[in-house]
Structure 1
Amino acid sequence: MLTLAEMSPADLRGLVRDYGLELAWVPQGTRIPGSYWGAPEAGLIGNTVHVRPDTPLHSLLHEFCHAVCMDAGRRAQLHTDAGGDVLEENAVCYLQILLADRLPGVGRERLMRDMDAWGYSFRLGSTAAWFAEDAEDARLWLREHGLVDERNAPLPRLRQ
């Protein structure tokens, strides 16, 4: 799995900053604030995504996309558990795949392989199959909330 140590910190900060959120790095070996799954997985507190060098990229993108997809009221109270319903979770997964294309050397295919390796489960058996054949609800949810355009390109804004 691709970790943040293998990525450009500037690229990661830029992506998160484009959405008006913060990326906070903690030193290797220390606890990650707001991590739902525990280290090395990313954590969420308010408008900040907490990571360290061994955090998997898919984890940063997933937690970041939770912050993007939740409404402002939930984001203001956010600490560790992003909550949300099944449709929002699907939208989070879909958006993280789209955003992987914005990161040099990553792309959606690589991210989907890492998601499968981590254990994301979709009823069609793989992230790629779900994305291609079973994610219409996620696309519609993202469009309805103004987070992608009519071509399903991500728009750098938070759900209001």
Structure 2
Amino acid sequence: MKRSPISLLPLLVLLIGSMACHTDGEIISPATGVDNNGNNSPDTTGNRLRIRVGSTTFQATLLNNPTAKAFKARLPLTVLMSELNGNEKLYNFPQNLPTNSANPGTIQTGDLMLYGSTTLVLFYKSFSTNYSYTKLGQIDHPSGLAAAVGSGNITVTFELEQSS
């Protein structure tokens, strides 16, 4: 039996609609204030980032590299970050980000990096390392970061700062 392309149109619309509603689970709270036309959307050309941990907010500067650009495309983002090694919080993205990893030698408090191609890492203590990372950016003034993140798993919100 031969079907006309017009009879398949409702099925195609249903398929596309269901794909548009799919979420990969990485965002705990959805972005707000952005309509379907992109009005009031964050300025994705800027490299200024706001990181909220509980009631404390830190400003950060993102690098201008493909990894940081891919990260910015996912913002705003609120995620549950796991504790690791008493010096870092991490979150695993469900999809890869581009990488250009290198060994920094020393991790600095406030470094925001990608380990491998999916693990976002926020470092709250400085230490030397043998591991390689792709650097995304750095918290401008990380004083108080260790106290803000504490010793357990935390919810962190990353969002671009609005241009004035």
What's the TM-score once normalised by structure 1's chain length?
0.31
Structure with greater strand percent: 2
What's the TM-score once normalised by structure 2's chain length?
0.31
